Amino acid sequence: MSELYEKMTEDSAEPKKVKGPKVKGPKGKSPEGFKITSGPVGQSATFGSRAFDVINYALITLIAFTTILPFIYIVGASFATEYELTVRPMFIIPQDVSFEAYEYIFSSNKLISAFGNSVFITVFGTIINLFFTVTFAYPLSKQKLRGRNFLLNMVIVSMFFSGGMVPGYLLVSNWLGMKNTYWSVLLPGAISAYNMMIVKNFFQGIPQELEESAHIDGCNDLVTLIKIVLPLSLPVLATFGLFYAVGHWNSYFSAMIYMSGARDKWPLQVILREIIIMSTMSAGDLALMDPNFKEPPAQSIKMAVIVVSTVPIMCVYPFLQKYFVKGVMVGALKG
């Protein structure tokens, strides 16, 4: 009995090893020799996947280069002489660097005031656009709003039909009395129907429970919009704020029509347009206007005007880049 008891205690102290199927690696190697590399499910990249990556990166690089090449050429051509622009059809770095185009542009004493006017119109115009877009999109995002379908149909109709240029001019100039004022370029385009619809879709995607909890805490609709909805809507607001700002910065036609009698309020684009027109006039006509006339470099002035009008608004984009793609995509996913 003692021998049987000792045998039983030994068996319980040393558990038996269960033999299972033997796992071998490729070509008889043990699993310890496996190396986890990048790729799907820890597998090593195949020749096809590597070739696809190389072709993909090369294609994207080519597309990016062809996209930025025209602007690089414009920057280089703005520092070139008129003779080099005539002889060399395409170049990036000019042989003879010349600042005549920029000297001609900045010789105008109206350029600084025009730049200030453009900044004023862009900043306040964007604020007005975002205010009307948000205050119109938020009520339309609520299913319980009375007359919601009628208002949405009216917005859709305005996307396809407009009153026209002449009725718009009569409305702004004669009936509203806003001619030769900043309001004439700020209020007529105060809201974009397309942008408002996308912002509405974004508001509809915000969880309803957040607003319900705010209402339980005693918040009304206005407080809920300011403290709950707007902080969650920074991506879409930054995106369409950039859209509105670029539109105001590049706009010149409205200022030409509605502020023809207020040259001191002209934005930068209108002044640059006048500079281009003056540079393309015949040398004889300009010499009669100014006895100390020196013929301007017409082609390089056009290139320099593009640089002067584009660089300021390009400096704003890096600050909004992280919101740009997210704001457009999120607002467009839900209908």
Mind listing the domains of the chain with CATH numbers? 43-98 (no CATH), 103-333 (1.10.3720.10)
Between 157 and 261, the more confident residue is: 157
Range in 40-44, 105-109, 186-190, 294-298 the model is least confident about? 40-44
- With beta carbons less than 8 A apart as the criterion, state whether 277 and 298 touch: no
CA distance 185 to 182: 6
CA distance 296 to 302: 11
List C-alpha distances in Å: 101 to 27, 112, 153, 234, 304.
Answer: 72, 17, 51, 41, 6
183-203 pLDDT tens trace: 999 998 899 999 999 899 889
46-71 pLDDT tens trace: 888 888 889 999 999 999 999 889 88
Could you tell me what percent of the chain has a pLDDT over 70?
A: 76
Tokens at residue 31, please? 């699993």
Tokens at residue 136, please? 């119109």
pLDDT for residue 20 is more than 50: no
Phi and psi at residue 259, to the nearest 5°: -125, 40
CA distance 30 to 181: 83
Amino acid at 220: N
DSSP 147: T
Mean pLDDT calculated for residue range 202-212:
88
Between 296 and 219, the more confident residue is: 219
Q: Which residue has the tokens 């025009």?
A: 114
Secondary structure element (H or E) that encloses residue 154, with its range: helix 148-160
Determine the length of the chain: 335
DSSP 89-150: SS-SS-SS---HHHHHHHT-TTHHHHHHHHHHHHHHHHHHHHHHHHHHHHHHT-TT-TTHHH
pLDDT for residue 273 is more than 70: yes
Average pLDDT, the chain: 79
Position 138 confidence tier, pLDDT thresholds 50, 70, 90 = very high
Per-residue confidence (pLDDT) for residue 84, from 0 to 100: 84
Cα within 13 Å of Cα(168), Cβ side? 12
- With beta carbons less than 8 A apart as the criterion, state whether 128 and 187 touch: yes
